[in-house]
Amino acid sequence: MSDSTKNPGGRKRGSLVSLVPRLAKLVYHLARDPRVPWRVKAVLVGLAAYLASPIDIIPDWIPVVGYLDDVLMVGLAAGYVLASVPPEVVREHWGEDVEVLESLRRKPRRKGTQD
């Protein structure tokens, strides 16, 4: 299996695993940028501390669900950061392949609502 798959629109899309180093780079650069609000920086530091900590809400040794709390925390923090930091600052630190970034920024549609 390759790292990239075709989505229904025909464009190539990288796997979630390939996003990890890019997200880590983004977090590092956002934490150092003076244009990023201090609350966002506090969330990023708190997330890093939580992920590095051996104490978890759900212990990692439990099969399948052990990493669920880590994934949930990353998702919540990413959503907060992307909503709180100006888009141009995030794009500047993200680099190329802005389509992937924009797909992360999109809010999911709820059933029964129209755009």
What predicted TM-score, i.e. pTM, was given to this entire model? 0.68
Q: Is the pLDDT of residue 80 over 80?
A: yes
Q: Is the pLDDT of residue 105 over 70?
A: no
**Rounded distance, CA 66 to CA 45, Å?**
22
* pLDDT for the residue 11: 44
Helices (H), 33-67: 38-52
Higher model confidence: residue 106 or residue 99? 99
Please, which pLDDT band fits residue 60 given cuts at 50, 70 and 90? confident
